[in-house]
Structure 1
Amino acid sequence: MIKVGDKLPEVSFSQLTKEGVLNPTTSQIFANKKVVLFAVPGAFTPTCSAAHLPGYITLADQIKAKGVDTIICTAVNDAFVMNAWGKSQNAEAITFLADGGAAFHKAIGLTMDTADFGGVRSQRYAMIVDNGVVTTLNVEAPKSFEVSNAETVLAVL
């Protein structure tokens, strides 16, 4: 599993934009930026929609005021689902990156197998990344939501 001090692996994500589906790479996303990245097991799922994402939406201005360039939400979903979820939550301050094949989450060792519920998904976590290097990593215990929320990340910043 990735740890504090590690550089993020080079992978591509999918992102639906006005120009269509783009495939930004890790280096394009994180180079020379301070980024808060949080991951959810799935878009439109209960805890993710009721608490995890809304916390980041509410605190986005305060998080960015601490020197954060970008707040990113990722999940093992496709770009269309991630875009629709962001729109449904009025999450203009958040960048949504899809990891449809779980390449990123496999590379950092933060997947879980939910079997028939949805297959391979991301674990729930939040990290602070400075110029591609992980400076904070908060991984949730299974079925928990205590350390990856926006309030905890804001306190660390």
Structure 2
Amino acid sequence: MAISPGQRIPAATVNEMRDGVQAVDTAKLFEGRKMVLFAVPGAFTPTCSAKHLPGFVAHFADFKARGYDVACLSVNDAFVMGAWGESQQVPEGLHMLADGNGEFTRALGLELDGTAFGMGLRAQRFALAAEDGVVTHVAVEAPGEFKVSSAEAMLEAIG
């Protein structure tokens, strides 16, 4: 069952490239702050690279002005997420989170079975907002869609 507003962000370990691979505890990452987390099915894939991540890069200052930190999540390894972030000129402070084994994605209930396409377990395309570790908004895309999880849609959702 997918996470919904009012529920706490589950504790899991993801990784981020910062002076090498660093383990990140999701519960601690969300604790005491406002956060927007968006997830993509795969780094370097067409919609993810052409629209989803670039929208959050372009609007990063708008989220910060509203008091929100931003994180991007994918079921990829930290090296891939780090390279993708560099190629997309991700600003300092936008977390590029690697959920290599899909543990956090499964805990959120937002996994996608991409085995028919040779992709294995992936994250659905989604975005959520949380305050002090409690989810306030969740937007999950229908298969093949890119509407409700965009940076613009999330800025509207958080006000």
Q: Same fold (TM over 0.5)?
A: yes
Query: CA–CA distance in 2 between the matches of 1:113 and 1:54?
Result: 25
Residue 92 (structure 1) shift: 1.6
The corresponding residue for 1:10 is: 11
The whole-number CA distance in structure 1 between the counterparts of 2:157 and 2:120 is 32
In 1, Cα distance between the equivalents of 2:17 and 2:67? 26
Backbone CA RMSD of aligned residues? 0.9
| C-alpha displacement of 1:117 | 2.7
State the match for 2:142 in structure 1: 141
Aligned pair 1:77/2:72, yes or no?
A: no
User: Corresponding residue for 1:156?
Assistant: 157
Cα distance in 2, alignment partners of residues 89 and 21 from structure 1: 19
Runs of 4 or more, structure 1, over 4 Å off, are none
Alignment of 1:19-98 (within 5 A): 20-68=20-68, 70-93=69-92, 94-98=94-98
**Residues 22-44 of structure 1, C-alpha deviation per residue, up to 9 Å, x if partnerless?**
11101220110100100000000
Q: Which residue of 2 aligns with 1:121?
A: 122
TM-score by length of 2: 0.95
% identical equivalent positions:
46
| Uncovered stretches (5+) of structure 2, i.e. residues with no partner | none
C-alpha separation between the residues in 2 aligned to 1:21 and 1:51?
26
Distance 2:130 2:80 in 1: 25
> How far has the Cα of 1:148 moved from its partner?
0.0
| Alignment partners' CA distance in 2, 1:83 and 1:98 | 9
> Which residues of structure 1 form unaligned runs of 5+?
none
**Shift in Å, 1:21:** 1.1
What SS does the aligned partner of 1:43 have?
coil
What amino acid does structure 1 have at the position aligned with 2:63? Answer: I
Paired AA for residue 61 in structure 2: D
Deviation per CA, 1:94-146, whole angstroms, max 9, x where unpaired?
Answer: 21010000001111110011114311000000000111110010000011101
Deviations for 1:79-98, whole angstroms, at most 9, x for unmatched residues? 00000000000012421010
